[in-house]
Amino acid sequence: MGCAALIAGGACSQAPAPAPAKLWTLFDVEALSATGATSLGGADDGLPGGLRLDHILTGSSLFPRQTFSESYASEYVTTEVWANYPQVWTQPMYVPVTGWTGGVPQLLVDATGVWHPVFGVGPPSGFYSPFWQTIYFDVPAGTPTNAITSGQQVLDGDYPQHEGGGRTVPIVPQDVAAASPAGPVAGKGWLNGGPVYFLDFGKGLFGWDPVTNVANETPIYVFLMRDAEGNLQAPDIPTVAGDGPPGTHATSVPMIDGLPRYASYWRIYTVEVPPTARIFSPDPAQQGALQALGVPVVTLYDPTVVADNPAIVGRIALNPSDPSIGQAGCFDTDDTADYGPDNPTTGHCLYLDSQANVENNIDPGAIQPTNITVTCPFIQYKTLTETPIL
């Protein structure tokens, strides 16, 4: 009997449909937040709890999310989230130029000296991405900056084109652009004949395959702990940003203009930490949040260690101490608790605060890619603002 004949009886069963690909831009995050939603993505995408909306946008402001990179505290913001996209592609960003000086393009600017790129694709297309390949095109000096406002005009105009580098430039709601954090440069460009607003995080933040236009991924690690019932929970602690492709135990990223240039396109990996690992969490509020999740918490700390080591808050140590149960460990002294990557002290903390530390100390089977990728350009490294390469 055919399937169609069985439908009326509800007897037809199908294999589970593959999860649909979803892209959330900041337009979507704003809209979701307005409905009272609190997260996006979730367990179906391999990430328990999903991503908190208030860790992406707070009002109109991008939320500076803490992360550890090469053992140092840094911050990034999140501008796009993809679920079930095996890959994300670069798209063309057309930039009018009036000439070239020593190989440097002279951008067409308006009366205030501001450039206005023309984007090839924008939200809400599922193929939009903030990873643009710059395509310079030559226009006569004096061309009005609002004369060419669509990719079709660029192509139909037969302007000489010159391929440029990659640039991370999310198209964002106007209010988000206006509330730009320190670092990216807000601007206005064109899409399909109309204005759009963007944040320019600059060059050098991603690579791509020149044949397929697929953007390269870098891992970013989210830690999971098991509660008393054995369920995986995702505590609200800093992530760890990788330095290179998964499995490479990479330990550094390129330095450009005096700053390390971390990737802006990441795939989220979950890391299930061993049951003996603990978060350095002296703050009572954080302890309460962890206890609410049902994950093990260290509640007693030496006040001196806490006072002397504010930078280790939120890190996971594989060899912690827990005085409440009489367990000695690395949280006991300043020297052992220090996070320095070359800490010579015997018994020092083995923190999971870099890609190398994660991959060197965690069973590979406990490190799993999720179906979620994100645009997370850095805005701060240690105490330094990540100034875009423009």
Based on CB atoms, which residue is closest to other proteins, 123 or 184?
123
Residue with tokens 């911050």: 75
Compute the chain's Rg from CA coordinates: 24
Two tokens, residue 315: 């890190």
Which amino acid, 165? G
Residue 27 Cβ vs other proteins, minimum distance, rounded to whole Å: 11
Residue 17 Cβ vs other proteins, minimum distance, rounded to whole Å: 4
Residue whose C-alpha is closest to residue 80's, from 377, 369, 368: 377
Which of the stretches 128-136, 229-237, 257-265, 297-305 binds other proteins when contact is defined by CB under 8 A? Answer: 128-136
Residue whose C-alpha is closest to residue 295's, from 311, 312, 316: 316
Residue whose C-alpha is closest to residue 264's, from 339, 186, 204: 204
Which of the stretches 35-43, 153-161, 282-290, 305-313 binds other proteins when contact is defined by CB under 8 A? Answer: 153-161
Which of the stretches 19-27, 42-50, 55-63, 359-367 binds other proteins when contact is defined by CB under 8 A? Answer: 19-27
> Can you tell me whether residue 270 is helix, strand or coil?
strand
Residue 373 Cβ vs other proteins, minimum distance, rounded to whole Å: 13
Paired residues of 265 in beta bridges: 375
Using CB under 8 A as the binding rule, whether residue 9 contacts other proteins is answered as no
Using CB under 8 A as the binding rule, whether residue 155 contacts other proteins is answered as yes
d(CA 318, CA 279): 9
Residue whose C-alpha is closest to residue 157's, from 169, 143, 168: 143
Residue with tokens 């806490």: 306
Could you give the C-alpha distances from 105 to 101, 115, 130, 169, 201, in angstroms and in order? 6, 12, 21, 18, 19
Which of the stretches 64-72, 89-97, 324-332, 370-378 binds other proteins when contact is defined by CB under 8 A? Answer: 89-97
Residue whose C-alpha is closest to residue 78's, from 121, 115, 41, 34: 41
d(CA 53, CA 199): 19
Which of the stretches 7-15, 64-72, 329-337, 371-379 binds other proteins when contact is defined by CB under 8 A? Answer: 7-15
Which of the stretches 122-130, 236-244, 267-275, 318-326 binds other proteins when contact is defined by CB under 8 A? Answer: 122-130
Using CB under 8 A as the binding rule, whether residue 38 contacts other proteins is answered as no
Residue with tokens 């240690």: 382
- In the window 293-332, what residues touch other proteins (CB under 8 A)? none
Among 14, 35, 112, 346, the residue binding other proteins under the rule CB under 8 A is 14
Using CB under 8 A as the binding rule, whether residue 59 contacts other proteins is answered as no
d(CA 283, CA 59): 26
Using CB under 8 A as the binding rule, whether residue 18 contacts other proteins is answered as yes
Using CB under 8 A as the binding rule, whether residue 12 contacts other proteins is answered as yes
Using CB under 8 A as the binding rule, whether residue 96 contacts other proteins is answered as no
Among 67, 69, 133, 336, the residue binding other proteins under the rule CB under 8 A is 133
Among 58, 146, 152, 324, the residue binding other proteins under the rule CB under 8 A is 152
d(CA 324, CA 317): 17
Using CB under 8 A as the binding rule, whether residue 135 contacts other proteins is answered as yes
Residue 291 Cβ vs other proteins, minimum distance, rounded to whole Å: 39
**CA 67 to mean position of chain CA atoms:** 10
Using CB under 8 A as the binding rule, whether residue 85 contacts other proteins is answered as yes
Contact between 309 and 323 (Cβ < 8 Å) = no
Question: Residues binding other proteins: what is the number (CB under 8 A)?
Answer: 41
d(CA 56, CA 248): 29
- Binding string, residues 167-196; x marks residues near other proteins by CB under 8 A: -------------------------x----
Using CB under 8 A as the binding rule, whether residue 7 contacts other proteins is answered as yes
Could you give the C-alpha distances from 333 to 276, 294, 298, 311, in angstroms and in order? 19, 27, 15, 15
Based on CB atoms, which residue is closest to other proteins, 92 or 388?
92
Residue 139 Cβ vs other proteins, minimum distance, rounded to whole Å: 15
Residue 212 Cβ vs other proteins, minimum distance, rounded to whole Å: 6
Using CB under 8 A as the binding rule, whether residue 150 contacts other proteins is answered as yes
Binding site for other proteins (CB under 8 A): 3-4, 7, 12-14, 17-21, 84-87, 89-92, 120-128, 133, 135, 150-152, 155-156, 161, 192, 211-214
